Amino acid sequence: MAKSSVLGYPRIGADREWKKALEAYWAGKLEETEFRQKLQDIRLTHLRKQQEKGIDIIPVNDFSYYDHILDTAAMFGIVPKRFSYTGGAVPLSLYYGIARGTKDAAASEMTKWFNTNYHYIVPELDGATPDVTENKPLIAYREAKEKLGIEGKPVIVGPLTFLKLSKGYQASETDAWLGRLIPLYIQILQELASEGVQWVQIDEPIVVTKLSEEDYGRLRTIYESFAAAVPSLNIMLQTYFESAESYETIVKLPVQGIGLDFVHGRTSNLASIAALGFPADKVLGAGIIDGRGIWKASLQEKLGLLEQLTSFVKADRLIIQSSCSLLHVPVTTANESKLLPELRGALAFADEKLDELVLLTKAVEFGEATIAEELKQCESALQALRTSSTRNRSDVQQAVAALSAQQPRRSTAFEERHAAQQNKWQLPIFPTTTIGSFPQSAEVRKARQSWRKGEWNNEQYEGFIREQIDLWIKLQEDIGLDVLVHGEFERTDMVEFFGEKLAGFAFTQYGWVQSYGSRCVKPPVIFGDVAFEEAMTVEETKYAQSKTKRPVKGMLTGPITIMNWSFVRDDIAREQIAYQLAYALRQEVEALEAAGIGMIQVDEPAVREGLPLKKDEQAAYLEWAVKAFRMTTCTVQDTTQIHTHMCYCEFHDMIDSIEAMDADVISIETSRSHGELIHSFELNTYKLGIGLGVYDIHSPRVPQVEEMTSMIDRALRVLDPKLFWINPDCGLKTRGTEETVAALRNMVEATLIARKNYSVNVY
């Protein structure tokens, strides 16, 4: 009979219990024993929920103390050399040191998990001697069986994916590293087999990207080695986020199951099965419920898909599952009491997706009639949203159609704009600035909460925000920054803030998802046509500018980032959503300029993460993403300086698109990748203003002047000093005031050293 499964469940808890436990432990408010007990309680609660809902095959080892890739590295004793690790099980202090940095050692690089908004810690192989420090999947399996009687499915990141996502080795060392890792994986798998484990899920999402023939040869070597060493173990080779790039190679591997994504990779995976069939001796893990989206599935449509699949695969060799881990969606809609009925009825978070999987499995096994009432309710809920007035605004649709038919561009070339802007602002060589936000202290958060609860009136709250602006304008002047910001104290989140002020958005109460470590975000829901209603940022920015003679940047989040960091409607193309956002934000840019704000930053940190995994789809995405940014910014005067910001990504393959955005200044994160991005500019000329982040704001450590000076010196070997800015990596919202001021003072000192060393007449 068909069975149900998921590839992973959210770690954070319905009320972010996981996050709160982590932060209490880091703050010294929880002893390690109590901390571990709290996390076990959370983990068992999640397993019990899946068990009670009727999921047949429940994943274990998908839970993490921080990040699953870091877990894998720690399991193999792969610890960066700078942490002086000497072997054995990695203690929590070291584990979190790798992720967050310590007083003496910088954190490991953090980057996007494929094209999602989740970030993983990049393993550093240089100098490591891998060994099995502890069998984490086995520990998780035993816990689930002993505590809850669950015959769990251990989840492990596959060797090829792990290696491809690691750094610190040369391409010529790939096979040598696989030679070290394969025996360790075999040890893990043999111990699982000896324990009586029935299924192991080995995640190899790397196979949905373009691989070389050598890599496919490595994949065969890996799984042939596993099959020879552990012939009794059922391995589900799991892919997700897209279609398998070489279906024919994947299905020939000596594994017992193949997991395919029939949501984001539906068309290609279906075509491959139709053309080549599916092996009769294998189980198909059919990922038909979207693990990344929040919308209720059309059960009728999904049954049609399953009917297609069962024409190739017998039902008793079918596992009906999520398209990827449910890590990427909130936990439950049960507590969402404030949404419009037509919206709430059309949502499905992790728990509701479990219900969908159980229903579909029941229908496949016992017939569609057994879920007739649920099918009717599902279609009624989806139809209510489709016909909602929020999704059918002709004024927005017509205006955006007219704008998107044009090619937006600034009226003057960058060289002329740059000269006009320099004449206006008279900035020194290597201008200093920050990315936008300043520390959101407990006092700031309490004030916002008091205002939202109605305990403070608007006048009280606005007065408090102005006090914070006054304080930080003075601090920025005292530190010596050249271009200031108002600090964004009125903003909870860089996307949520704008979504609350634009039509077409909705906000959940508990729709949190993990972004990195304990950092959780509550993405807005774009469920209707997006429209500008009134100025959103003018008041605070104009007030800040009135308090200083130095320029203050207006701060906006760009259209692509708002889209990529929101849960978006799935009834129209993402390109059209981006253009609706761009049209709305253009009106805000124009309002800032009309209010006398001459520098405007439109942040686009998430452009790279939206890049399709398939190479042949990337150019089209970048073309309309660039167009949306230019649509937002193209109408300003030559003297109005447009800034943007990007972070957490590899940019070497999209430098041309970044330049095509035509921002006067771009700031890019580089410190966590230890300046590796600079190599991109050694290979590619960049002709616009640029600031490469000179210190990592995600670590609590205060970087030394020498570290930043070294980063500046290397950047100036390949970038034009006349166009170079100096800034931190990202916004400073999550940092403390003392460390923020200390780090910025060091940054300004490093800048003064650079100005002395490069004291040339650049203007």
Q: Is 46 a catalytic residue?
A: no
User: Tell me: the pLDDT tens digits for 359-372?
Assistant: 999 999 999 999 99
Q: What is the pLDDT of residue 501?
A: 95
User: Tell me: the pLDDT tens digits for 138-161?
Assistant: 999 999 999 999 999 999 999 999
- Phi then psi for residue 531, to 5 deg, are -150, 145
145 assigned to a ligand binding site: no
649 assigned to a ligand binding site: no
Pair type for strands 525-532 and 502-506: antiparallel
Residues 369 and 427 in one domain: no
Asked if residue 101 has pLDDT above 90, the reply is yes
The arithmetic mean of pLDDT across residues 12-36, rounded, is 97
Residues 199 and 162 in one domain: yes
User: Tell me: the pLDDT tens digits for 596-634?
Assistant: 999 999 999 888 888 899 999 999 999 999 999 999 999
Confidence class for position 672, pLDDT limits 50, 70, 90: low
Q: What is the pLDDT of residue 608?
A: 84
CB 516 within 8 Å of CB 119: yes
Q: What is the pLDDT of residue 21?
A: 98
Q: What is the pLDDT of residue 650?
A: 61
Residues 176 and 236 in one domain: yes
437 assigned to a ligand binding site: yes
The arithmetic mean of pLDDT across residues 711-727, rounded, is 90
Confidence class for position 761, pLDDT limits 50, 70, 90: very low
Gap between the Cα atoms of 742 and 702, Å rounded: 7
Residues 325 and 434 in one domain: no
The arithmetic mean of pLDDT across residues 511-533, rounded, is 95
Confidence class for position 275, pLDDT limits 50, 70, 90: very high
- Residue 583 falls within a domain, yes or no? yes
Q: What is the pLDDT of residue 678?
A: 66
Residues 244 and 291 in one domain: yes
- Residue 324 falls within a domain, yes or no? yes
18 assigned to a ligand binding site: yes
Residues 568 and 419 in one domain: yes
Asked if residue 189 has pLDDT above 70, the reply is yes
Residues 293 and 177 in one domain: yes
- Residue 394 falls within a domain, yes or no? no
The arithmetic mean of pLDDT across residues 67-94, rounded, is 97
- Residue 751 falls within a domain, yes or no? yes
488 assigned to a ligand binding site: yes
- Residue 398 falls within a domain, yes or no? no
Asked if residue 762 has pLDDT above 50, the reply is no
Name the active-site residue from 68, 119, 264, 698: 698
The arithmetic mean of pLDDT across residues 326-330, rounded, is 98
Asked if residue 652 has pLDDT above 80, the reply is no
Residue, of 74 and 654, whose pLDDT is higher: 74
Residues 156 and 286 in one domain: yes
- Residue 603: give its domain's CATH number: 3.20.20.210
Asked if residue 677 has pLDDT above 80, the reply is no
Residues 545 and 420 in one domain: yes
Asked if residue 257 has pLDDT above 70, the reply is yes
Q: What is the pLDDT of residue 605?
A: 87
CB 678 within 8 Å of CB 715: yes
Confidence class for position 695, pLDDT limits 50, 70, 90: confident
User: Tell me: the pLDDT tens digits for 208-239?
Assistant: 999 999 999 999 999 999 999 999 999 999 99
Residues 627 and 704 in one domain: yes
- Pick from 434, 435, 514: nearest CA to 99: 514
Please, how many CA atoms are within 13 Å of residue 324, restricted to the half-sphere of its CB? Answer: 24
- Residue 460 falls within a domain, yes or no? no
Using the Cα atoms of residue 12, residue 15, residue 18 and residue 22 in order, give the sign of their dihedral: positive
Residues 380 and 483 in one domain: no
Confidence class for position 673, pLDDT limits 50, 70, 90: low
- Residue 215 falls within a domain, yes or no? yes
- Report the number of secondary-structure helices (H) and strands (E) in the chain: 27, 21
Q: What is the pLDDT of residue 646?
A: 87
Confidence class for position 711, pLDDT limits 50, 70, 90: confident
Residues 62 and 208 in one domain: yes
- Mean pLDDT, the chain, rounded, equals 94
Give the domain range for residue 602: 415-439+471-488+537-757
How many domains is the chain built from? 2
Gap between the Cα atoms of 239 and 264, Å rounded: 11
Gap between the Cα atoms of 122 and 648, Å rounded: 11
